[in-house]
Amino acid sequence: MVLTVVVVLVVVGLLIGVGIHVGPHGSIVTASVGMLAGIVLTLLISHSHSSLTALLWTLVVVLFIAAITVLLAGIRGLRSTQYHSKESVPGLTKLLDSAGVATSRLDPIGTVQIAGKGWSALNDADEPIEVGTTVFVTRIEGLKLHVIPEAPEGNNRKETP
């Protein structure tokens, strides 16, 4: 039983290390696995009458503290602007005011082709945009283009190949 507890602690420790390396999502998953393993180990230890029980309890407490720390770090990483930015992706601003073609019906979400590439797009007009309609990019949020079916007045729209 002692060997089982030690093996589980080592495996969970390695998983938490990998989770931290992978990023916020990995941290959250491995911290959850660590907490679940800690609960299982708590149940195992509570039925143990080994002379090492005090040491095992200490290791489980350390596991819980590590798992909670990693979980909080993962949540903080997800909330950072690096992962959830409403700013457009660098280089996409060149698509602003560009013309393209709807490759699926946009009601309100669909796909468009601009500059020879397919993009996810959100229809900012009141009516659905049908396949084959010329669209114009009005703004960019993340990787999603906001489009309308006709050029806004007063804009110098860019023609794209």
The answer on 61 and 10 residing in a single domain is yes
Question: In this structure, how many other beta carbons lie within 10 angstroms of the beta carbon of residue 84?
Answer: 9
Structure confidence by residue, pLDDT tens digits, 14-52: 887 787 777 777 888 888 888 888 888 888 777 777 777
Q: What are the tokens at 107?
A: 């009601």
Cα torsion angle, 67, 70, 76, 82, sign: negative
Strands 117-123 and 144-148: parallel
Taking a C-beta distance cutoff of 8 angstroms, is the pair 81, 35 a contact?
Answer: no
Torsions phi, psi for 160 (to 5 deg):
-115, 150
Structure confidence by residue, pLDDT tens digits, 47-102: 777 777 787 788 888 888 888 888 888 888 777 645 445 555 666 778 888 899 99
Question: In this structure, how many other beta carbons lie within 10 angstroms of the beta carbon of residue 18?
Answer: 13
How far apart, in whole angstroms, are the C-alpha atoms of residue 16 and residue 151? 51
The answer on 99 and 74 residing in a single domain is no
The answer on 6 and 74 residing in a single domain is yes
The answer on 97 and 72 residing in a single domain is no
The answer on 73 and 33 residing in a single domain is yes
As for how many domains the chain has, the answer is: 2
Judge if the upstream peptide bond of residue 152 is cis by omega within 30 degrees of 0.
no
Which domain CATH number covers 110? 2.40.50.140
For residue 159, being part of any structural domain is answered with no
For residue 156, being part of any structural domain is answered with no
The answer on 103 and 133 residing in a single domain is yes
Neighbour-count burial of 73, counting CB atoms closer than 10 A to its CB (0-12 exposed, 13-18 middle, 19+ buried):
middle
For residue 153, being part of any structural domain is answered with no
The answer on 54 and 33 residing in a single domain is yes
**Among 91, 123, 99, 100, which residue's Cα sits nearest to residue 110?**
123
Which amino acid appears at position 54 of this protein? A
Helices and strands counted in the chain (H then E): 3, 5
| 10 compared with 105, residue with greater pLDDT | 105
Ranking 6-15, 106-115, 127-136, 146-155 by mean pLDDT, the lowest is 146-155
For residue 124, being part of any structural domain is answered with yes
| pLDDT of 161 higher than 50 | no
For residue 132, being part of any structural domain is answered with yes
The answer on 11 and 72 residing in a single domain is yes
For residue 34, being part of any structural domain is answered with yes
Question: In this structure, how many other beta carbons lie within 10 angstroms of the beta carbon of residue 109?
Answer: 12
Which residues form the domain of 11? 2-79
For residue 155, being part of any structural domain is answered with no
The answer on 106 and 73 residing in a single domain is no
How far apart, in whole angstroms, are the C-alpha atoms of residue 152 and residue 56? 69
